[in-house]
Amino acid sequence: MEKKSSRRDFIKNASIGTLGAIALTQLNSLDALAAPHEGPLFVQAALPYDYKALEPHIDAMTMEIHYSKHHKGYIDNLNKICAEKNIHTHSVESLFPAISTMPVALRNNAGGHYNHTLFWTMMTPNGGGEPTGKVKTAIDAAFGNFNDFKTKFNEAAKSRFGSGWAWLVLNKEGKLEIGSTPNQDNPLMDVSEVKGTPILCLDVWEHAYYLKYQNKRADYVNAFWNVINWNTVAARLG
Ligand code: MN
């Protein structure tokens, strides 16, 4: 492989933040971004706990398949698509604001990678309970009280038809809002009905719960509250 010039590297690296949001057709026309890169763009972060750590709420086999097969599959596909399309950004988020202009396979796999990376951090074996401090204050302000928030979030998770995600987001008005997305869409995408910074998310694809809960999605949704990592939620709230 020919060694890249330092100028090309400079342009490529300097462009990562701003060019990611540009439509794919435009990305392809930029020679500076067409330089070959070494190794995969996206790698899977280590799971922050053991597969069995969330039992009995989320079983070990579901966690293992979910992380090592489903999530890994999205990353492998995403890397393949990026290689084919000469996409060089390492920021998966930068693709989302103009995702409607990009191929559906890129949307599904970029979303799949981002959403799962976030989802693993939303859970912890020492989680659950009710939030305190600024998270409690923000939830009470937006939804009245924790139980009403929980009911509304559960409703979003249970009523999402087919595969998708439930979200708590901070919208551009700085308000907390609950919604859901189909497939691997997320609130950072221009195609999403609910938009904002993801604060909390729950995967409601059948692959996330079917081995333990079968058709009883509501039981899985209820179990999630026992493993929520409120420290992650607090950190994302800023
Ligand atoms: Mn999943």
Chain segment 133-169, per-residue pLDDT in tens? 999 999 999 999 999 999 999 999 999 999 999 999 9
- On whether the CB atoms of residues 179 and 194 are closer than 8 A, the answer is yes
Which one-letter amino acid corresponds to residue 177?
E
Q: pLDDT tens-digit profile of 86-105?
A: 999 999 999 999 999 999 99
Place of tokens 């995403």: 78
As a whole number of angstroms, the distance between CA 123 and CA 46 comes to 14
Whether 93 is covered by a domain: the verdict is: yes
Beta-bridge partners for 197:
170
Whether 154 is covered by a domain: the verdict is: yes
Whether 45 is covered by a domain: the verdict is: no
Ligand 1 centroid–CA 234 distance in Å is 23
Ligand 1 centroid–CA 229 distance in Å is 18
Ligand 1 centroid–CA 198 distance in Å is 16
Q: pLDDT tens-digit profile of 34-86?
A: 345 567 899 999 999 999 999 999 999 999 999 999 999 999 999 999 999 99
Whether 41 is covered by a domain: the verdict is: no
Ligand 1 centroid–CA 11 distance in Å is 35
Whether 46 is covered by a domain: the verdict is: no
Structural domain including 12 reads 1-29+57-238
Tell me the whole-structure pTM to 2 decimals: 0.84
Whether 98 is covered by a domain: the verdict is: yes
**What pLDDT score was predicted for residue 38?**
66
Ligand 1 centroid–CA 127 distance in Å is 20
Question: Number of structural domains, the chain?
Answer: 1
**What pLDDT score was predicted for residue 39?**
78
pLDDT score of 216 more than 90: yes
Ligand 1 centroid–CA 205 distance in Å is 6
Region 211-218 average pLDDT? 98
pLDDT band at 2 (very low <50, low <70, confident <90, very high): very low
Domain containing 146 — which CATH number? 3.55.40.20
Q: Return mean pLDDT, the chain.
A: 88
Closest CA to 58 of 127, 115, 2, 156: 127
- On whether the CB atoms of residues 114 and 197 are closer than 8 A, the answer is no
**What pLDDT score was predicted for residue 37?**
52
Whether 34 is covered by a domain: the verdict is: no
pLDDT band at 15 (very low <50, low <70, confident <90, very high): very low
Whether 132 is covered by a domain: the verdict is: yes
Ligand 1 centroid–CA 77 distance in Å is 15
Ligand 1 centroid–CA 89 distance in Å is 23
As a whole number of angstroms, the distance between CA 44 and CA 229 comes to 20
